[in-house]
Structure 1
Amino acid sequence: MTRKAKWIWTFLIGLGLLAVGTMVAFASPPIAALIQEPSQETISGVVRDADGPVFGAVVRIQNTENKTTTAEDGTFTLGGITTTELVTVTAWAPGYYVGAATTIPGTGPITITLKPHYTTDNLDYEWFSFEGIKGSASCALCHPSYAEWKADAHSQSAVNPRFITMYKGTDVHGNQSSPTRYGPSGVLPPDPDEPYYGPGYKLDFPDRAGRCAACHTPLAESAPLQTCAWLGCHTEQRAEQTKATLPNYPYRLKGIDPTGLKGVAADGIACDFCHKIGDVILDPETQLPYPDRPGILSMRLYRPEEGQQLFFGTFDDVPRRVTYLPLEEESAFCAPCHYGVFSAVDGKYGGVVVYNSYGEWLESPYSDPETGKTCQECHMLPAGYNYFAYPEKGGLYRDPNRIHSHYMPGAKDEGLLRNSVTMTSTVTVDDGKIVLDVYITNDKTGHHVPTGVPLRHMILKLEAIDAEGNPVPLMEGPTLPDWAGDYAGMPGKVFAKILEDLWTGEAPTAAYWRPIRLVEDTRIPAMATDVSRYVFPASVDGPVTIRVELLLRRAFQKLMEQKGWDDPDILMEEQTIVVVP
């Protein structure tokens, strides 16, 4: 073959291969089309109870967001399922335990049968026990949240030294003040010749138990309607008025003693107690608890008979002795014990609102269901782990944002308090004066600050020092009152709910079981800003350093000294400002 012929032959072969390649290229589908997408299956079926189909039940593949609701005939279809393995499908509807069935997607319809939970309340229920362990400690066998609850104030409500000493009229060492003395015109002041360990409910009313147990120790009283309410709880006079005006009044007038409790009654606000609350009773007009129904009186409990059990929770896919309760994720769940009216024969027609954290939230922007926050969103943050029952006990690994801590931080938690308000300031020097404006904005708290028991108060204090370390006197501006204790007379102000004891005229008073009146409320509502101005002389030589601190004090200093409480002041905000005149 000549060189020319060989070249032509090579060219023709190459041209042929190119043509074949082109044909293959145009004839073949895209590479992406060769990769098969996972097939999507469905699961269909029906949810029913003993009487027929259940309409509106929530059906989901357990531990996923793949869910739907049943039609009027109880049928459902779940789509978008890519697994071919066995799955658990759960169903829940109000009034029922969670039901479940297992299936392989695409294999045919399933039936989930729901069983209604009991709707009665057994007053003789002795509270939960497991494997020989009684009370809340039994929950620790399966739930990591027990340790959080144990460190929380709710678990300590029956043994809290501030509560016990105020109830008994003692100090923390058990020393008791003398019983209250009465003269022709009323209550006499404490005998100055006798040691005094502060006020106490039992000093005033030794023959009555009061209503404290309704919130502090609800397990101590099995019958809500026999728990002491506002009417007639405190004085014999009020008891007689109650009997005369309401002879069929159902509540026990002498109340339940909340001290010296043993066993599960000493658990305080126990695990089983909260998870047996199926409803709260609120006034439809005010959305607040009725004034004469504190604590347990405003709760609907579901305590089981022998052979029954029920726990309310925040998941609708746990097919055990559990049902989902949306109320547990709502602020209303907290209302019965975080609202309280005192100092009235009948709270419906008078009295002073002493505890009002829930009412403050209700009146704030935080109660807006679209833009606000619930109590739980602030006080039950994600716990930091991804199961609510230990996996070895059958718990599932879940979205950690759905596992809420039961520590529930409050007035003793420094982290919470330091993230409650924002404090800023502006300073000007003019005409020989240093003018300092302090702004405190309640921008991170869904109620007044401080809130809860009116013993708590915030103290804003300022201290101005010259270059030599000498105090610079205040020319204009508020100063702290005498009852501020060590800080009395310093530049600053207090934020407190000040109550006056109408028996003794003492203000502020901690004895708010007595007849009281509201003197003033200087606390900061949610989203409000307090502004105070302080003027110092600018005529000193050298710079002036102004130290600004905002503190939370859990009780009045005098009362703390009487009772022996040692809770330190908690620093919430601080600023140091150096002014060069």
Structure 2
Amino acid sequence: MKPITNVLVCCIWFTFSLIITAQTLPTQTSTLFSGSGNCALCHQPGLPNTAALLDPDGQDISPVSLWRSSIMANAAKDPFWQAKVTAEVASHPFLQAVIEDKCTTCHAPLGRTEAVFNGAPGYSLTEMQNDSLALDGVSCTLCHQIKPDNFGGGSYSGHYLVENDRLIYGPYQNPFTMPMQLTVNYTPTFGEQMQSAAHCATCHTLFTPTVDNSGQIVGELPEQTPYLEWRNSRFSAEGRICQDCHMPPIDDEVIIANRPIWLGARTPFWRHYFVGGDVFMLTLLRDNAAAIGVTATAEHFDSTLARTRRFLRNQTAGLAADAEWLLQDTLAIKVAVTNRTGHKLPTGYPSRRMWLHLRIEDGSGQPVFESGSWDPVSGEIAGLDSPYEPHHQVIRTAGQVQVYQALMGDVDGNLTYTLLRGATYLKDNRLPPEGFTTQGPFYDSTRVEGMAAQDPDFNRSAGQEGSGSDTVFYHIGGLAPGESYRVDIRLRYQSLAPRFAADLLQYNTPEVA
């Protein structure tokens, strides 16, 4: 396998110092929610029980320590997200209220959900910026209060259900309730939904409005559908859920709170990594911590970044290749890319792409052919003059590159990077998960689009659908069979394609600037 690069009786209280010394976690409360700083008082290592929330090696695995440097914790502070929201508003100012309310539902849920609960018609970015709970991102008391009653289609696009009954759901039977009731006025309760992929789907299945040339909403676009992709996969059939990869559990017994001191251990314990693939944004958050107002230290971000890179390299994709002489001077290289995840690769927001980078060097180390080379500064792929690169089965020239991506089209079929103009996908050759078929559930929302749909080995093996792989053939002429060549093949990944980012620059908003 080649590497992918770049690319959470009485209670005795003690006063103690927090281990973490970044910007303070919020301790504000509202009718429905409580800031993560209140949860941290008990759910991080410290007195009275200093053995709590440590793994067998003595490492801190507390939810707050692992979560605070994640994309989830920083969802409301994410500079790219803020810039994109303001750009969409600049493009459709008459829809500002709709756009900002829609986007804050999942990026600033503690603020937006509280506002709507109290009778507000919606929620704005201005309100978010002045609301410490909103800026707590996807925080503890949002996820742990979501009810399963409307799981499925009724819960998608941020229609999660939170009620004012002060129940905090967790994965353990028979929780000890008194400490939490006394300190934060929530009652811990066993909830099977905490081990359900449908829980994640409430925000990670998102349909956004489609706006036509006259400014009318005429439909919707499946902006991100990892849950629906998973449903049409072997992983779903085997009961392997989102949390297994993104919050990997350990079977060691863990004391889940530092008080009361006699609290017993639980197993398994889900590590609140929320690991994904956005090295770019994690780096930006770390390097601009003070300006953005993050609550994690550089050390926390470094740990999350290292974890993310390992995740990308070891758990997402596989590469295999072989070569033979096709003609006297033509080398045929067969490259197979396999998706190891339970959703499309890449999945989620359509700014993401991955591509094959193949380089052939002669015996002296000089390049004789290269497809997919890129500029690490600009992020651009060499030779791609058009943002739309078709799907390839056979590559013969350096100007042909296999790029796995989803490209949006507007109502006229023109390429667009503006989310609300997205009516369809002109191209979607992202690698499906193993077991994915055109007859499987939710295919209409997760279709393969473009020339990949006609590629006989795209998600097919021996004529059967569901391989979760693609085979690309490189036919490279002008070589000498008697010479020695070195072939280097890499699968590269970007969470933010340069032209997607560059499209923002046409909008004059403070967040874009």
2:92 to 197, 200, 204: 204
Q: State the match for 2:194 in structure 1.
A: 328
Q: Deviations over 1:309-339 (max 9, x none)?
A: 4211111121302110001101011111011
**Which runs of 5 or more residues in structure 1 are unaligned?**
1-87, 89-122, 129-134, 170-199, 228-249, 565-581
Is the contact made by 1:158 and 1:217 (CA closer than 8 Å) also made in structure 2? yes
Aligned ranges 1:152-163 → 2 under 5 Å: 152-163=70-81
Q: Secondary structure at the match of 2:474?
A: strand
1:427 maps to 2:368: no
Q: State the match for 1:411 in structure 2.
A: 277
Q: Secondary structure at the match of 2:402?
A: strand
Q: State the match for 1:272 in structure 2.
A: 141
Is the contact made by 1:458 and 1:550 (CA closer than 8 Å) also made in structure 2? yes
Paired AA for residue 141 in structure 1? L
2:67 to 149, 163, 169: 149
**1:500 Cα deviation from its structure 2 partner:** 2.1
Q: State the match for 1:125 in structure 2.
A: 31
Distance 1:149 1:388, change over 3 A: farther
Q: State the match for 2:12 in structure 1.
A: none
1:288 maps to 2:153: yes
Q: State the match for 1:310 in structure 2.
A: 167
Aligned ranges 1:178-193 → 2 under 5 Å: none
| Distance of 1:501 and 1:361 partners within structure 2 | 27
Q: Secondary structure at the match of 2:420?
A: coil
Greater RCO (CA < 8 Å, at least 6 residues apart): 2
Is the contact made by 1:145 and 1:388 (CA closer than 8 Å) also made in structure 2? no
Q: State the match for 1:438 in structure 2.
A: 335
1:535 maps to 2:475: yes
Distance 1:276 1:439, change over 3 A: same
Distance 1:383 1:160, change over 3 A: farther
Dislocated runs of 4+, deviation >6 Å: 224-227, 345-349, 478-484
Q: Deviations over 1:249-274 (max 9, x none)?
A: x994x653375243112101110111
Q: Secondary structure at the match of 1:376?
A: helix
Paired AA for residue 138 in structure 1? N
1:165 maps to 2:28: no
Paired AA for residue 419 in structure 2? Y
Q: State the match for 1:376 in structure 2.
A: 243
Q: Matched residue pairs, number?
A: 363
1:497 maps to 2:354: no
Identity of aligned residues (%): 23
Which one has a bigger Cα radius of gyration?
Answer: 1
1:389 maps to 2:256: yes
**1:502 Cα deviation from its structure 2 partner:** 4.5
Q: Secondary structure at the match of 2:77?
A: coil
| Distance of 1:351 and 1:411 partners within structure 2 | 26
**1:429 Cα deviation from its structure 2 partner:** 1.4
**Which runs of 5 or more residues in structure 2 are unaligned?**
1-8, 10-28, 44-61, 178-186, 279-307, 385-397, 435-467, 506-513
Q: Secondary structure at the match of 1:552?
A: strand
Q: State the match for 1:236 in structure 2.
A: none
Q: Deviations over 1:52-83 (max 9, x none)?
A: xxxxxxxxxxxxxxxxxxxxxxxxxxxxxxxx
Aligned ranges 1:192-231 → 2 under 5 Å: 200-205=88-93, 208-209=96-97, 210=99, 211-222=102-113
Q: State the match for 1:136 in structure 2.
A: 36
Q: Deviations over 1:325-381 (max 9, x none)?
A: 00110101111101112234799994221110111011112112xx23011111111
Structure with the higher strand share, 1 or 2: 1
Distance 1:262 1:251, change over 3 A: closer
Q: State the match for 2:5 in structure 1.
A: none
| Distance of 1:373 and 1:384 partners within structure 2 | 16
Q: Secondary structure at the match of 1:472?
A: strand
Paired AA for residue 409 in structure 2? E
**1:217 Cα deviation from its structure 2 partner:** 0.9
| Distance of 1:335 and 1:423 partners within structure 2 | 29
Q: State the match for 2:204 in structure 1.
A: 338
Distance 1:225 1:466, change over 3 A: same
**1:513 Cα deviation from its structure 2 partner:** 2.0
**1:219 Cα deviation from its structure 2 partner:** 1.4
Distance 1:484 1:318, change over 3 A: same
| Distance of 2:33 and 2:225 partners within structure 1 | 30
| Distance of 2:86 and 2:217 partners within structure 1 | 28
Is the contact made by 2:221 and 2:422 (CA closer than 8 Å) also made in structure 1? no
Q: State the match for 2:388 in structure 1.
A: none
| Distance of 1:141 and 1:481 partners within structure 2 | 47
| Structure 2 length-normalised TM | 0.63
Q: Secondary structure at the match of 1:429?
A: strand
Q: State the match for 2:363 in structure 1.
A: 467
| Distance of 1:273 and 1:499 partners within structure 2 | 31
Paired AA for residue 239 in structure 2? G
Q: Secondary structure at the match of 2:81?
A: helix
2:381 to 483, 486, 511: 486
Distance 1:329 1:560, change over 3 A: same
| Distance of 1:395 and 1:381 partners within structure 2 | 26
Q: Secondary structure at the match of 1:513?
A: helix
Paired AA for residue 226 in structure 2? S
| Distance of 1:497 and 1:546 partners within structure 2 | 28
Once the two structures are overlaid, the 10-residue window that deviates more, 513-522 or 159-168, is 513-522
Is the contact made by 1:462 and 1:492 (CA closer than 8 Å) also made in structure 2? no
Q: Deviations over 1:70-122 (max 9, x none)?
A: xxxxxxxxxxxxxxxxxx9xxxxxxxxxxxxxxxxxxxxxxxxxxxxxxxxxx
Q: State the match for 2:389 in structure 1.
A: none
2:229 to 347, 356, 360: 360
Q: State the match for 2:438 in structure 1.
A: none
| Structure 1 length-normalised TM | 0.56
